[in-house]
């Protein structure tokens, strides 16, 4: 094969290939757009000139030069004026035969043409780099041009003028030198490709030429074709080190879609997905396929199922309404919360798992780092990398408050805004959040409100579409079934229930469904409207708590759309709306009930205090105000006594509420036993 290649001229072979109508058209388009490069599909070169392909992969420097010269020769025929203007053409190859995993890139690949996939985690600013440096001799003024490579500027050894030939000093002439734009981008292994327990590998890729610079931003999933290079650092007075670092000189970079729809299903799998969706029992089948090794918790699995499929986002001229669902699971220890989260991060087409204590705000959103050249660069965090996917955050209550604040914006606006160290940027983070938290006192206390049970601020609680409480309550029949399930798992080592849909097909099913944008039918709309108005009308009379707000109505729409999407339907039917109302009721029953009045009260999530508590607090504040007019400061013991005799508020309860108001700063104690309004 090598002999054949040596007898035929590679440049002539490339020229024959570029004579095809498709590439002649691409060369003509270059003149219109003013570009200096054009793209060649590698598989087309393989079918047309298979002899060239092996040589191009093994000796890319030499053969890319042949390709560039042949393309320029063809351009001179097609567009002679434009060819005269640009002097050179760069050929970019798209889609090599196989992708080299970042993990195995090593010494065997040095100097070879390779294709890598990864996620961009940081990108430096674009900087001009000199390729042909012009130097002026200080003695005779003659100009000498030197081609540049490596990190440092290289001056000529001697003056080029024959009568001078001095080896002395030269001045660099910027105006006469040739520059190109360059940018350093760091790519990292995709989270889904990472072997368990391994640190993600990364590689710096160099983007040279204007048309490659700024094509990829942090968080983008890219496919890069380039030549692997190894460079050793030079230390002053010591010389070159023996250990080399790898980087990639980029020939072509393709920003692959961030959409999970890109998970390609074969035609057979596609047929299987469509057949599955026609099954009237599809919702139950998907439910049974979701974490089959975890026993029970059907309503939580159902909520997770809706979260995986998600609703559709709406973009208007003035606002954007999110389509992704956020779900919070609050539960006693040992109720398989972490197992569910781990499972979801694996099954979601783009999933990330992170746990509370080891997570910082910069790690979740974006970090600003100083690069080698002294500038500042942005490095994408977990929520940016999980864009268009699912972020599973475990032990959310253990996160530091200042770190947790970073999640607020992501949950509602789906962006991450950074303004530090001179960098002001907004990155996309269109992610669904599945979070788990433990109750403050170790176990969930049914006689306290959800905001008292979890140490999460109401600003975060109100952004979750569904909140569920997992309680570990002893129950003979259920415990016996669960015991059998767990012991069977340990005895046989296989899932007791065979999932109807395999994990691989399930992931592809979720991806495939994302192409469908369901629309509400009139029947579904009527269902949602009636339920919402019924819940609101219950709150119309003075003194009753507010049962539901517009935020919950939007959540109901999202859940209905997700259920329609699961059956690959483009219409939301009445049954979808009905099921969404059922699961919303289940969530509200667990967390939105005022313990003292047994009525739905959404203010528990919105403000952290049920209406009954707020009413009592306003009674206390009113009494304090009237007592202050009489005595100036209020005697606490006398206040508690009057509350019990006049308003039937027990002393223990009033003491607790006064303590809470003191803590919040509504009241203050000028001296022991006396209180005053702030």
Tens digit of each residue's pLDDT (9 = 90 or more) over 85-130 = 777 888 888 888 888 888 888 888 888 899 998 888 887 778 888 8
- Report whether pLDDT(46) > 80: yes
What is the model's pLDDT at position 239? 79
Same domain? For 78 and 109 the reply is no
Compute the 3-state secondary structure of the chain and give helix, strand, coil in percent, each to the nearest 5: 40, 25, 35
Q: Are both 380 and 411 inside the same structural domain?
A: yes
The residue behind tokens 């005269």 is: 84
Written as six digits, the tokens of 220 are 């983008």
Q: Within 13 Å, how many C-alpha atoms sit on residue 601's CB side?
A: 23
Q: Could you tell me if residue 329 is inside a domain?
A: yes
- pLDDT above 90 covers a percentage of the chain that reads 1
Give percent of the chain above pLDDT 70: 89
Give the C-alpha separation, 147 to 156, whole Å. Answer: 10
Domain range spanning residue 662?
611-677
CATH code for the domain in which residue 89 is found: 3.30.1640.10
Q: Predicted confidence band at 417 (pLDDT cuts at 50, 70, 90)? A: confident
Pair 140, 242 in one domain: yes
Residue 652 maps to a domain = yes
CATH for 636: 1.10.10.10
Domain membership flag for residue 529: no
Count CB-CB contacts under 10 A for residue 637. 11
In a domain, 539, yes or no: no
Question: Quick check: is 563 in a domain?
Answer: no
- Whether 544 shows a pLDDT value over 50: the answer reads no
Identify the domain boundary among 256, 276, 297: 256
365 and 386 inside one domain = yes
The domain boundary, picked from 94, 111, 127, lies at 94
Neighbour-count burial for 346-378, b at 16+ CB within 10 Å, e otherwise? ebbbbbbbbbbeebebbbbbbbbeeeeeeeebb
pLDDT score at 601 = 54
- Is the C-alpha dihedral spanning 160, 162, 168, 170 positive or negative? negative
Rounded Cα distance between 411 and 592, Å, is 20
CB 339 within 8 A of CB 332: no
Q: Are residues 303 and 418 in the same domain?
A: yes
Task: Look at the chain and report how many structural domains it folds into.
Answer: 4
Rounded CA-CA distance 673/633 in Å is 10
Residues 616, 649: contact at Cβ < 8 Å? yes
Tell me whether residue 575 is in a domain. Answer: no
Residue 604 has pLDDT above 70, yes or no: no
- Judged against a pLDDT cut of 80, whether residue 160 lies above it is answered with no
Could you tell me where the DSSP H helices lie in 50-129? 50-58, 60-78, 80-86
> What is the mean predicted confidence (pLDDT) over 419-435?
82
pLDDT band at 598 (very low <50, low <70, confident <90, very high): very low
Q: Say yes or no to pLDDT of 662 above 50.
A: yes
For residue 263, the model assigns a pLDDT of 57
Mean pLDDT of 368-384: 75
280 and 341 in one domain?
yes
What is the pLDDT at residue 257?
55
pLDDT one-digit tens code per residue, 274-306:
888 888 888 888 888 887 777 777 888 888 888
Shared domain check, 271 and 250: no
If asked whether residues 468 and 617 sit together in one domain, one would say no
| 603 inside domain | no
Q: How many CA atoms lie within 13 A of 616 on its CB side?
A: 22
Lowest mean pLDDT among 2-11, 101-110, 180-189, 417-426: 2-11
What is the distance between the alpha carbons of residues 234 and 257, in angstroms, rounded to a whole number? Answer: 39
Same domain, 440 and 349: yes
Distance CA 481, CA 488 (A): 11
Task: Using pLDDT thresholds of 50, 70 and 90, give the confidence band for residue 237.
Answer: confident
- The pLDDT value recorded for residue 546 is 53
- Looking at residue 597, the DSSP 8-state letter turns out to be T
pLDDT score for 595: 38
pLDDT digits (tens, 9 = 90+) for 504-514: 888 888 888 88
Q: How confident is the model at residue 320 (pLDDT cuts 50, 70, 90)?
A: confident
Question: Nearest Cα to 138, choosing from 169, 102, 182?
Answer: 169
Q: Which residues of 237-276 are buried (b: 16+ CB within 10 A; e: fewer)?
A: eeeeeeeeeebbebbbbbeeebbbeebebeeeeeebbeeb
Q: Is 199 helix (H, G, I), strand (E, B) or coil?
A: coil
Span 150-175, average pLDDT: 79
Nearest of 45, 27, 25 to residue 37 by alpha carbon: 27
In sequence order, what are the residues at sequence separation of 6 or more whose Cβ sits closer than 8 angstroms to the Cβ of residue 497? 288, 292
Is residue 67 domain-shared with residue 6, that is, in the same domain?
yes
pTM for the full predicted model: 0.69
Q: How confident is the model at residue 545 (pLDDT cuts 50, 70, 90)?
A: low
* Residue where a domain stops, chosen among 94, 119, 139: 94
Tokens of 489: 């798992």
Check residue 427 and give its pLDDT.
80
* Interatomic CA distance for residues 408 and 393, integer angstroms: 13
Of 389, 189, 308, residue with least CA distance to 563? 308
For the segment 431-459, the average pLDDT, to the nearest whole number, is 77
Kindly state whether residue 389 falls inside one of the protein's structural domains.
yes
Q: Are residues 356 and 475 in the same domain?
A: yes
Query: Given this model, what pLDDT does residue 334 score?
Result: 76
pLDDT of residue 12: 83
Do 54 and 107 fall within a single domain? no
With bands split at pLDDT 50, 70 and 90, how would you rate the model's confidence at 591? low
Q: How high is the mean pLDDT of the chain?
A: 79
pLDDT > 50? residue 543: no
Q: What phi and psi values does residue 672 have, to the nearest 5 degrees?
A: -55, 130
What b-and-e string marks burial along 9-43, b requiring 16 or more CB atoms within 10 Å of the CB?
ebbebbbebbeeeebeebbeebbeeebbbbebebe
Q: What is the mean pLDDT of residues 554-561?
A: 89
């Amino acid at each position: 094969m090598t002999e054949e290649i040596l007898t035929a001229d590679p440049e002539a072979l490339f020229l024959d290939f570029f004579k095809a109508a498709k590439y002649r058209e691409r060369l003509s388009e270059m003149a219109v757009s003013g570009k200096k490069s054009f793209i060649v599909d590698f598989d087309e070169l393989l079918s047309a000139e298979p002899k060239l392909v092996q040589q191009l992969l093994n000796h890319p420097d030499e053969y890319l030069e042949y390709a560039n010269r042949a393309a320029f020769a063809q351009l001179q025929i097609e567009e002679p004026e434009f060819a005269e203007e640009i002097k050179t053409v760069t050929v970019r190859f798209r889609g090599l035969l196989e992708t080299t995993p970042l993990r195995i890139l090593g010494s065997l690949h040095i100097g070879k043409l390779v294709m890598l996939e990864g996620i961009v985690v940081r990108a430096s600013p674009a900087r001009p780099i000199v390729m042909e440096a012009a130097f002026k001799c200080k003695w005779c003024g003659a100009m000498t041009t030197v081609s540049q490579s490596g990190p440092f500027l290289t001056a000529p050894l001697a003056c080029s003028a024959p009568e001078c030939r001095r080896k002395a000093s030269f001045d660099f002439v910027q105006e006469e030198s040739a520059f190109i734009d360059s940018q350093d981008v760091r790519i990292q292994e995709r989270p889904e490709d990472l072997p368990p327990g391994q640190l993600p590998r990364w590689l710096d890729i160099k983007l040279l030429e204007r048309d490659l610079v700024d094509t990829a931003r942090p968080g983008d999933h890219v496919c890069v074709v380039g030549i692997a290079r190894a460079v050793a650092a030079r230390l002053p007075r010591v010389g070159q080190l023996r250990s080399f670092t790898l980087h990639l000189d980029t020939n072509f970079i393709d920003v692959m879609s961030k959409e999970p729809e890109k998970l390609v299903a074969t035609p057979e799998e596609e047929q299987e997905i469509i057949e599955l969706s026609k099954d009237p029992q599809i919702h139950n089948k998907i439910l049974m396929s979701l974490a089959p090794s975890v026993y029970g918790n059907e309503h939580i699995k159902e909520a997770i199922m809706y979260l995986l499929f998600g609703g559709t986002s709406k973009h208007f001229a003035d606002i954007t309404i999110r389509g992704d669902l956020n779900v919070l699971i609050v539960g006693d220890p040992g109720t398989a919360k972490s197992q569910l989260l781990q499972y979801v991060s694996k099954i979601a087409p783009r999933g990330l798992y992170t746990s509370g204590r080891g997570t910082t705000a910069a790690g979740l959103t974006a970090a600003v780092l100083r690069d080698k050249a002294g500038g500042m660069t942005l490095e994408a965090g977990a929520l940016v990398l999980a864009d268009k996917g699912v972020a599973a955050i475990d032990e959310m209550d253990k996160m530091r408050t200042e770190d947790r604040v970073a999640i607020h914006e992501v949950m509602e606006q789906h962006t991450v805004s950074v303004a530090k160290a001179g960098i002001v940027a907004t990155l996309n983070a269109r992610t669904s959040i599945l979070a788990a938290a433990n109750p403050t006192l170790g176990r969930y206390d049914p006689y306290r409100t959800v905001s008292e049970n979890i140490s999460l601020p109401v600003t975060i609680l109100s952004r979750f579409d569904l909140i569920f409480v997992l309680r570990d309550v002893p129950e003979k029949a259920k415990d016996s079934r669960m015991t059998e399930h767990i012991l069977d798992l340990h005895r046989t080592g296989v899932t007791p229930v065979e999932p109807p849909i395999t994990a691989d097909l399930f992931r592809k099913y979720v991806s495939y469904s994302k192409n469908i944008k369901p629309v509400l039918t009139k029947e579904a709309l009527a269902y949602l409207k009636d339920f919402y108005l019924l819940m609101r009308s219950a709150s119309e009379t003075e003194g009753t708590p507010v049962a539901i707000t517009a935020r919950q109505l939007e959540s109901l729409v999202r859940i209905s759309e997700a259920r329609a999407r699961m059956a690959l339907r483009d219409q939301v039917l009445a049954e979808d709306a009905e099921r969404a109302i059922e699961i919303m009721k289940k969530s509200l029953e667990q967390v939105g009930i005022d313990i003292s009045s047994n009525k739905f009260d959404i203010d528990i999530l919105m403000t952290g205090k049920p209406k009954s508590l707020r009413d009592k607090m306003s009674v206390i504040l009113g009494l304090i105000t009237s007592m202050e007019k009489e005595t100036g400061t209020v005697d606490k013991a006398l206040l508690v006594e009057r509350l019990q005799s006049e308003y039937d508020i027990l002393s223990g309860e009033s003491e607790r509420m006064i303590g809470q108001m003191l803590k919040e700063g509504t009241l203050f104690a000028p001296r022991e036993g006396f209180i005053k309004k702030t």
